[in-house]
Amino acid sequence: MPLTVLTSACRLKPLCRLQRIQAHMMSGHVEREVLLEKAGRAAVITMNRPKVLNALNLSMIRRIHPQLQKWESDPETDMVIIKAAGGKAFCAGGDIRAVTEAGKVGDSLAQDFFREEYMLNHAIGSYRKPYVAIIDGITMGGGVGLSVHGRFRVATEKTLFAMPETAIGLFPDVGGGYFLPRLRGKLGLFLALTGFRLKGRDVQRAGVATHFVESKKIPELEQRLVGLESPSDSDVSRLLESFQTQSDLDSDKPFVLDKHTSDIDRLFGSSSVEGILQNLKADGSEFAKKQVEILSRMSPTSLKVTFRQLQAGAAMSLQDVLVMEYRLSQACMRGHDFYEGVRAVLIDKDQNPRWRPPSLDQVSDRFVDDCFASLGEKDLRF
């Protein structure tokens, strides 16, 4: 059926909305959503959906992953660079709306998207050649998964990093359970629970990016990277460090959370989310009051799942974390809060989600246990 007929025939039905999304994904536009090119001995991936902030969809994943594998075994390819078109976003996240519609009607996209995205995240994390992510712009959710597990992550003053998933009834996935607890102190847990946004040089200071380079220097950096002959990790590192040395923008400003670092470690150092909230309320500082206000808006289920995810992930390999997170993703697909969060934040935009259950004390340990339970034959396998 032509897409125009499909649209007019069933404009409001979830299944038809999903069919329209899938028809678009399979259209000729797919070729332009991500560009895969060779430049000398470097391979270049360009996210190319600037109108939707380069949101990652399944067709993009299915183009990037096999090509990454080919380049990894290609003797003519020494390095991979991933960047984005448009100047505003590297990748603002996954194509959540499509996944939401799929989950509502039981379409396989709700499994396929997470499974294949996480397999791509693992491929990046275990890549044998230098992998350079130029995160010049908004980098959230799926964009974090495309960058943070790679050897080199270059932030600019335009970089905006966040993992805001607890606000939509999800959890910081794409390997968040691996890299967040490995940030210093309780910073990763703080970022995961609150969705706090890091900007510019602070993305590197937090340890999310490995380097900071001013945006205006990025074209020259790309040119120099492409010009490297048979570069090793150390060659790439030296080049990035030389560009970082030339970038003094905001170097005199302290890390945005500097004055709160010890507070975060102390207040978020509890053995439960309830304990963290008790600490914050007892502290009474303006910073603590602000965090109580923020956490009170998040999905109670997401907060408890995220806390346990990071607790467990701190001692796991990336591969094991991704297996765990796939189980969590499917628990979210079976539940209520993810659909309600997407409705409130992304669709109706009333910013008034009705979480179920509505409070932390109603989210039982048994329910959280079930979210982490094996899916048997449906588990993610590498």
Catalytic residues: 94, 142, 165, 173
Q: Is the peptide bond before 357 cis (omega within 30 degrees of 0)?
A: yes
Instruction: Give the residues across from 38 on adjacent strands.
Output: 43
Both structure tokens of 49: 């959906």
- Sheet of strand 131-135: strand arrangement: 34-39, 42-47, 79-84, 131-135, 152-155, 211-212
Tell me the C-alpha distance between 131 and 123, whole Å.
11
Both structure tokens of 326: 């796939």
Count CB atoms within 10 A of the CB of residue 294: 16
- Output the furthest CA–CA distance in the chain (Å, rounded): 61
Strands (E), 149-254: 152-155, 160-162, 198-199, 211-212
Tell me the C-alpha distance between 333 and 381, whole Å.
19
3-state secondary structure of 300: helix
Count CB atoms within 10 A of the CB of residue 205: 18
Q: Based on C-alpha coordinates, what's the Rg of the chain?
A: 21
Residue 292 corresponds to which amino acid? V
Question: Sign of the CA dihedral 88, 131, 93, 264?
Answer: negative
Q: Burial of 376 by CB count in 10 Å (0-12 exposed, 13-18 middle, 19+ buried)?
A: exposed
- Sheet of strand 198-199: strand arrangement: 89-91, 138-140, 160-162, 198-199
Tell me the C-alpha distance between 171 and 193, whole Å.
9
Tell me the C-alpha distance between 125 and 117, whole Å.
12
